[in-house]
């Protein structure tokens, strides 16, 4: 879990990175407590050339990080109240990133991090993390898929349109792990999978 994704992983277009991030682990090191980690189960891609992207209109102090080098967190405030966490991708001077929309945290309620703002809240991520490197040395990073999830493929994911945007609906740039109950919102017709049975009856 200490091994982070290599920097080159993020130096690709967001729509390539986003689906590959599913199954990876978001990990946070905290003072005096065990590592906090969760499996990423839902992501969205965003890119400068389309209107749903924060960098579509102009480069400003608040979206500056999105235009920076890949491999950093871009954290923004949503609706004045919530925080949302992105990972910057592709290359510098081109707004491109992946929104981390949901994570499944072992041993915790299924939906504590089911949604971008809930994920940010549970991991205690706010604007102070903006522009910070995705790196174990900074205490917050992303680890590759663990062995048991290494076999994840397109067949395990649902690809659909993004959530909460008015423009850019035609792009199917949201991906989620179908087997997970920690997904923020399922595509139409996709039934919620059964809960995992963790304990055998006596």
Partner DNA sequence: TTCACGATTCTA
Partner DNA sequence: AGAATCGTGAAG
Place of tokens 């659909």: 160
SS (H, E, C) 20-87: HHCCCEEEECCCCCCCEEEEEEEEEEEECCCCCCCCCCCCCCCCHHHHCCCCEEEEEEECCCEEEEEE
Min CB(155)–DNA separation in Å: 26
Min CB(49)–DNA separation in Å: 13
Min CB(88)–DNA separation in Å: 10
**Nearest Cα to 104, choosing from 183, 12, 176?**
183
Q: Is the Cβ of residue 29 or residue 56 nearer to DNA in the bound state? A: 56
Q: Is the Cβ of residue 113 or residue 140 nearer to DNA in the bound state? A: 113
**Nearest Cα to 50, choosing from 157, 166, 131, 158?**
166
Min CB(34)–DNA separation in Å: 24
Q: Is the Cβ of residue 27 or residue 86 nearer to DNA in the bound state? A: 86
Half-sphere exposure of 40 (CA within 13 A, CB side): 31
Structure tokens at 86: 């992105």
Q: Is the Cβ of residue 46 or residue 180 nearer to DNA in the bound state? A: 46
**CA-to-CA distance for 84 and 117, rounded, in angstroms?**
5
Q: Which is it for the CA torsion 155, 200, 147, 13, positive or negative?
A: positive
Q: Is the Cβ of residue 15 or residue 44 nearer to DNA in the bound state? A: 44
Min CB(115)–DNA separation in Å: 2
Enter the DSSP assignment of 138: G
Q: Which residues bind DNA (CB under 7 A)?
A: 44, 46, 52-55, 57-58, 60-63, 66, 76-82, 84, 86, 97, 99, 115-119, 127, 162-166, 184
């Amino acid at each position: 879990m200490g091994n982070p994704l290599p920097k080159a992983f993020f130096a690709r277009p967001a729509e390539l990175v986003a689906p590959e991030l599913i199954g990876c682990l978001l990990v946070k090191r905290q003072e005096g407590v065990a590592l906090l980690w969760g499996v990423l189960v839902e992501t969205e891609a965003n890119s400068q050339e389309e209107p749903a992207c924060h960098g579509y209109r102009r480069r400003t102090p608040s979206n500056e990080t999105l235009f920076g080098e890949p491999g950093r967190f871009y954290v923004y405030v949503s609706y004045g109240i919530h925080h949302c966490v992105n990972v910057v991708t592709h290359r510098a001077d081109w707004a491109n990133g992946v929104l981390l929309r949901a994570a499944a945290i072992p041993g915790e309620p299924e939906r504590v991090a089911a949604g971008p703002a809930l994920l940010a809240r549970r991991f205690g991520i706010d604007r102070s993390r903006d522009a910070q490197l995705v790196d174990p040395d900074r205490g917050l990073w992303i680890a590759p898929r663990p062995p048991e999830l290494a076999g994840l493929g397109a067949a395990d994911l649902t690809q659909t349109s993004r959530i909460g945007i008015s423009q850019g609906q035609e792009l199917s740039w949201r991906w989620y792990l179908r087997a997970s109950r920690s997904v923020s919102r399922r595509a139409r017709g996709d039934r919620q999978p059964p809960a995992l049975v963790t304990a055998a009856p006596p």
